Structure 1
Amino acid sequence: MDHHHLVEQGTTLACPACRGVLLDRTEGPVCTGCGRSFPLVAGLVDLRLKSDRYLDLKAERAKAERLHALEPETDLQGLAEAYYAITDDVLDARRGRFLRHIAGAEARGEALATRLPREGAILEVGCGTGGLLVPALRSGRSIEGVDIASRWLVVARRRLTDRGLSGTLVAASAERLPWSDDQFDAVVADSLIEHLDDPGQALREWVRVLKPGGRLIVWSPNRFTLTTDPHVGLWGLGWLPRQWVPSYLRLRLRQVWPPRTLSANEAGQLARAAGLRGIEVDVPGVPETWARSLPLRQRRGIRVYSAARKHRLTRALLRAIGPLWELNATKGGAA
């Protein structure tokens, strides 16, 4: 590396603390504004100001480096299994569910990729293990991924390598993105916003890095779904007052951080507060490729769901109590 500004795929990275210019140095980026230096972790640019709620930065970086050491010797499945082998606080039942989710992530990613523009720079916030990155890159789209967990980015990189692909992966927070203003033609997030402490702040940040006229696309579980919560496997969680949810999870022996799912109406309100225009909150379709990856019982449910989407009244009902909502909106100011 030299002392040039830090640029990835034509977009300009910036200090997440002060938005200052980052200089590209061998040991890691340095901000010319506030003087902060940032490390390279597991071969990734690490622009986090804090870690996620599950691990502190030191422990998280150590886990990412352990996976990085195994990365050349294995494939996606092997690396995912290695992660849970070194993670002793996940019960066997949940471990199996998480591994199946990682293995099937590209089928869901293919469904979401159809919503993305064909041209322009795209940012996926909370890219996780890269389920969307693969179909987006295969289709020729220019997409970058950011996630607060560098350990998942190592797994995402292994996924890309297994598929003969490469892409930009950056460790950073969804609420403090390390890009200059007006960088992307589209920002996309899937099953992320319900994990954030301040979803309103996150939406404002995503709007900040969008170009005028750029699109925001968000998928998230519906708070008022009549199906079980996908994160904890319990029914009716979103119908409880939010302040009761932690106690209820403890009562049901779910030692997890409580997801803060939003309803379709709440998503629309946050989008309006963030200054977005042309806001639509609807229920996404489920392509056959995604449905084929699901168990038989869920495939049957998908057939009913797909039929209900075709009619105005039942589609409105799905928007209120269906399993998932999709937000589409545009940043104002386009010429």
Structure 2
Amino acid sequence: MEQAYQCTACDMTFPVLFGIPDFRLRSDKYLTLQQERDKAERLFEKSKELSFNELVEFYYQITDDVPIELSRRYTAYVLNAPFQAGPLIDSLEPNKSTVLLDVGCGSGGLLQAANGIYVATIGVDIALRWLVIAKKRLDEAGVQSTLICADVENLPFKDKSIDHVVANDVLEHVYNINAALKEMSRQLKNNGKLWVSGSNRFFIGPNATTRLWGIGLFPKGIRTWLLVKIRGIDSLRYIHLISPLRIRKMLLGHFSLLNAGPKKVILSSTKNYPFQDRILISIYQKLTTFGPLRHLLFLLGPAFEMTFIKNNIKTKDGI
């Protein structure tokens, strides 16, 4: 243990591992806390000899529940993250006096893209293993950002201390969506902005996680059987299948909706994606620019994005 933080209120000690404070009481749903820390340590040791790109490839080599046919797509998603983050940051209209919190920051692509735009950026993720990868990315890019390992439902920040909170493809993966949204709201200053995105369960095309068409429309039992039969593992076993209208309903009343639409997809290059994905991405990009289709794509397309502003109201319960 390099050093530690002591919580005087709860009399608990939280370690700093690989230069990253670890404030978790639980890990994510895929690994135990010790398994997760062991995997993070393995990645940290490898990060001393591998580049960021090589470290991402190594991660998927040692991750048994990601089939080979999906690892290339996931790798392409990770490598493209800073380019994808550009329109997101622009939509928040930041300035150099605002603070950004990226919840579920993963490999740190948004933090890299936000470099120099905010007065401070903070990346939080429940997966220490991904923060080790993010640290490698930021170090290579010469980016200064604070990385913290914590549960989105129990963030270690003061109330109303953050200007912008981003939850990019995160809500599917939390333990409890309402608790996560409530905690994000607690962090935001009044009139602070919340940007959320996610995959739409009602999309009939290829699901972002499984690449199987219309898989979110099946009942859980049938869905699990199909995934095990086709992929060898139910990769949606810990995923919340969500929709834009559900998330909007959970937030309205405590937030005002600023804008909503199909998620923008910006690629630095399509060469990392399989041929089928390149064709589908190209078609999707064109469709999102066609005005009459935007609302339909928001409701039934593969992915959605929404920007909210926090209302200045007091509440005892809910978000």
TM-score where L is the length of structure 2: 0.87
- 1:124 corresponds to 2:102: yes
Structure 1 CA distance for aligned equivalents of residues 177 and 259 of structure 2: 18
- Secondary structure at 1:195 match in 2: coil
Partner of residue 61, structure 1? 37
2:13 to 37, 41, 59: 37
Shift of the alpha carbon at 1:46? 0.1
* Alignment CA distance shift 1:51-1:293 (3 Å): same
* Alignment CA distance shift 1:290-1:49 (3 Å): farther
Indicate conservation of the 8 Å contact 2:65/2:233, yes or no.
no
* Alignment CA distance shift 1:144-1:290 (3 Å): farther
Q: Larger deviation: 172-181 or 212-221?
A: 172-181
Structure 1 CA distance for aligned equivalents of residues 226 and 272 of structure 2: 32
Partner of residue 246, structure 2? 266
Shift of the alpha carbon at 1:237? 1.8
Q: Larger deviation: 100-109 or 221-230?
A: 100-109
Which amino acid in the other structure matches residue 218 of structure 1? V
Shift of the alpha carbon at 1:95? 2.9
Q: Larger deviation: 26-35 or 176-185?
A: 26-35
- 1:155 corresponds to 2:122: no
Q: Larger deviation: 192-201 or 168-177?
A: 192-201
Q: Larger deviation: 183-192 or 90-99?
A: 90-99
Unpaired runs of 5+ residues, structure 2, are 314-319
* Alignment CA distance shift 1:141-1:289 (3 Å): farther
- Secondary structure at 1:137 match in 2: coil
Structure 1 CA distance for aligned equivalents of residues 200 and 249 of structure 2: 14
Aligned structure 1 segments of 4 or more residues deviating by more than 6 angstroms: 290-293
2:28 to 28, 43, 52: 52
Structure 1 CA distance for aligned equivalents of residues 57 and 271 of structure 2: 23
Indicate conservation of the 8 Å contact 1:107/1:293, yes or no.
no
Partner of residue 297, structure 2? 318
Structure 1 CA distance for aligned equivalents of residues 73 and 272 of structure 2: 14
- Secondary structure at 1:260 match in 2: coil
- Secondary structure at 2:151 match in 1: coil
Unpaired runs of 5+ residues, structure 1, are 1-24
2:265 to 286, 289, 303: 286
Shift of the alpha carbon at 1:72? 2.7
Structure 2 CA distance for aligned equivalents of residues 175 and 290 of structure 1: 35
Q: CA RMSD in A?
A: 2.6
Shift of the alpha carbon at 1:247? 4.0
The aligned runs of 1:17-32 (5 Å cut-off) are: 27-32=3-8
Shift of the alpha carbon at 1:291? 6.7
* Alignment CA distance shift 1:109-1:215 (3 Å): same
The aligned runs of 1:1-335 (5 Å cut-off) are: 27-119=3-95, 120-140=98-118, 142-242=120-220, 244-252=222-230, 253-258=232-237, 259-272=239-252, 275-278=254-257, 280-287=259-266, 289=268, 297-333=276-312
Indicate conservation of the 8 Å contact 2:257/2:306, yes or no.
no
Structure 1 CA distance for aligned equivalents of residues 200 and 271 of structure 2: 22
| Higher RCO (CA < 8 A, seq sep 6+) | 2
Q: How many residues align?
A: 309
Shift of the alpha carbon at 1:49? 1.1
Structure 2 CA distance for aligned equivalents of residues 164 and 308 of structure 1: 36
**Identical amino acids, percent of aligned pairs:** 33
Structure 2 CA distance for aligned equivalents of residues 212 and 140 of structure 1: 18
* Alignment CA distance shift 1:140-1:181 (3 Å): closer
Indicate conservation of the 8 Å contact 2:209/2:236, yes or no.
no
- Secondary structure at 1:47 match in 2: coil
Structure 2 CA distance for aligned equivalents of residues 185 and 89 of structure 1: 37
Which amino acid in the other structure matches residue 144 of structure 1? I
